[in-house]
Structure 1
Amino acid sequence: MAHPTVLRGLVTRYEALSAADSAAASPSVLRQREDVAYTLCVSTGTRDVRDALRVARRVLESADGKDAPVAPVASAAR
């Protein structure tokens, strides 16, 4: 399973690419949406983008606040 930060980026990107009307979308946008959908499926272990989005959102809900950046550990002075 991908890290929640990665999943959040993929979901956001997929939603942005899907917001464009498919009939008016350029072939490049459609290809990018297909690529992101594929990556979402691989990242969530699913075969359908609707399932991938459902799994990703569930992971994001359970990880809410847990994927905050970790502060670097200061090394001990010698």
Structure 2
Amino acid sequence: MLLPSPETLRNLVARYEELQVRHSEEGSYETARCLEDITYTLCVSTGTRTPEDALAVAERHLAQAELATATPSDVALTA
């Protein structure tokens, strides 16, 4: 399955989290609609059906991307 770039995925997760907070504070129709839209986009982008699954996939993908771009000095080996 193809996933969006880490930057795009970070932006989707950030927008989702922002809208979750706004919706809990405002509860307006507009905020609810925006939250539904970003939830749909996040789920489609990660190939999942629920926001919880989408966030889990995003977290794993972003962690893998971070490991892949780590420089040798960023990695500490332990015994």
Task: Find the structure with the greater CA-based Rg.
Answer: 1
Structure 1 CA distance for aligned equivalents of residues 68 and 5 of structure 2: 11
Q: Is the 8 A contact 2:23 2:31 kept in 1?
A: no
Shift of residue 24, structure 1, vs aligned partner: 3.0
The partner residue of 2:64 within 32, 50, 62 is: 62
* Of 23-32 and 1-10, the range deviating more from structure 2: 23-32
In the alignment, does 2:20 pair up with 1:6? no
Number of equivalent positions: 67
Q: Relative to total residues, which structure has the larger helix share, 1 or 2? A: 2
Aligned-residue RMSD, C-alpha: 1.8
Name the aligned partner's letter for residue 6 of structure 1: T
Structure 1 CA distance for aligned equivalents of residues 29 and 68 of structure 2: 37
Structure 2 CA distance for aligned equivalents of residues 66 and 40 of structure 1: 22
TM-score for the superposition, normalised by structure 1: 0.76
Aligned match of 1:32: 34
Aligned match of 1:75: none
Name the aligned partner's letter for residue 10 of structure 1: L
Following TM superposition, the consecutive aligned residue runs of length 4 or more in structure 1 with deviations greater than 6 angstroms are none
Structure 1 CA distance for aligned equivalents of residues 23 and 41 of structure 2: 21
Structure 2 CA distance for aligned equivalents of residues 22 and 50 of structure 1: 17
Listed as ranges, the gaps of 5+ residues in structure 2 are: 70-79
